[in-house]
């Protein structure tokens, strides 16, 4: 696979790899994908009282573009409000990383991971789920 320099950079120097305390009330965890499909992404966000994402961590089982997509969204969500993070679209990820058509599903998974992490945080906070 001929990857863009950005994919290779995120793949070789992944940002924000790791784990936040899943039990903490200010941490939302999203686990999306399936091993049988070849990609599993875990995205965690730590949200402050103002609804701003202060920390983000990921771990991903998947190909180079799945790892790069997760790494990229951890950078993008940091400093944004959760509502703003929900506005990140898979097409933004695909465009930024210049993903080939066969790898678009990796960017879809990254968007799903953001939604799942925010949904988990909202549930912990007793907030209504995103529309």
Partner 1 sequence: METPEAMKVPIYMDNAATTPVDPRVLEAMLPYFTTEFGNAASKSHVFGWRAEEAVEAARAEVAALIGATAREMVFTSGATESNNLALKGAAQFLAPRGKHLVTCQTEHKAVLDSMHALERQGFEVTYLPVARDGRLDPGDVARALRPDTTLVSVMHANNEVGVLHPVEEIGRITRERGVLFHTDAVQSAGKVPFDVEKVGADLVSLSAHKLYGPKGVGALYVRRKPRARLIAQMDGGGHERGHRSGTLNVPGIVGMGKACAIAQAELPAESARLLALRERLRAGIERRVERATVNGSLTHRLPGNLNVSFACVEGEALMLAMKDVAVSSGSACTSASLEPSYVLRALGVPDELAHASLRFGLGRFNTEEEVDHVVELLAQKVQKLRDMSPLWDMVKAGIDPSTVQWADNA
Which residues does the annotation mark as catalytic?
Answer: 37, 106
Residue reference for tokens 């995205």: 43
Site for partner 1 (CB under 8 A): which residue of 62, 88, 97, 120? Answer: 62
Whether 68 contacts 97, CB under 8 Å: yes
Q: Rounded distance, CA 25 to CA 1, Å?
A: 41
Q: Which of 9, 15, 64, 81 binds partner 1 (CB under 8 A)?
A: 64
**Contact assessment for residue 60 and residue 74, using Cβ atoms and an 8 Å cutoff:** no
Q: Which residue, among 66, 25, 65, 24, has the nearest Cα to 42 in the 3D structure?
A: 66
> Could you tell me the smallest distance in angstroms from the CB atom of residue 126 to partner 1?
22
Can residue 36 be called a binding residue for partner 1 (CB under 8 A)? yes
80 to 119, contacts with partner 1 by CB under 8 A?
102-103, 105, 112
Binding site for partner 1 (CB under 8 A): 1, 3, 8, 11, 14, 17, 19, 31-42, 58-64, 66-67, 102-103, 105, 112
């Amino acid at each position: 696979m001929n990857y863009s320099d950005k994919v290779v950079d995120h793949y070789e120097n992944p940002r924000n790899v790791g784990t936040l305390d899943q039990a903490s009330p200010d941490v939302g965890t999203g686990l999306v994908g399936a091993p049988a499909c070849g990609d599993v992404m875990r995205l965690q966000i730590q949200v402050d009282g103002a609804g701003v994402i202060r920390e983000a961590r990921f771990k991903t089982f998947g190909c180079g573009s799945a790892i790069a997509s997760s790494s990229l969204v951890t950078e993008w969500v940091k400093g944004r409000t959760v509502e703003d993070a929900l506005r990140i679209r898979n097409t933004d990820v695909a465009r930024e990383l210049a993903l080939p058509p066969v790898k678009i599903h990796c960017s879809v998974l990254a968007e799903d991971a953001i939604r799942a992490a925010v949904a988990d945080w909202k549930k912990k906070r007793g907030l209504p789920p995103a529309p």
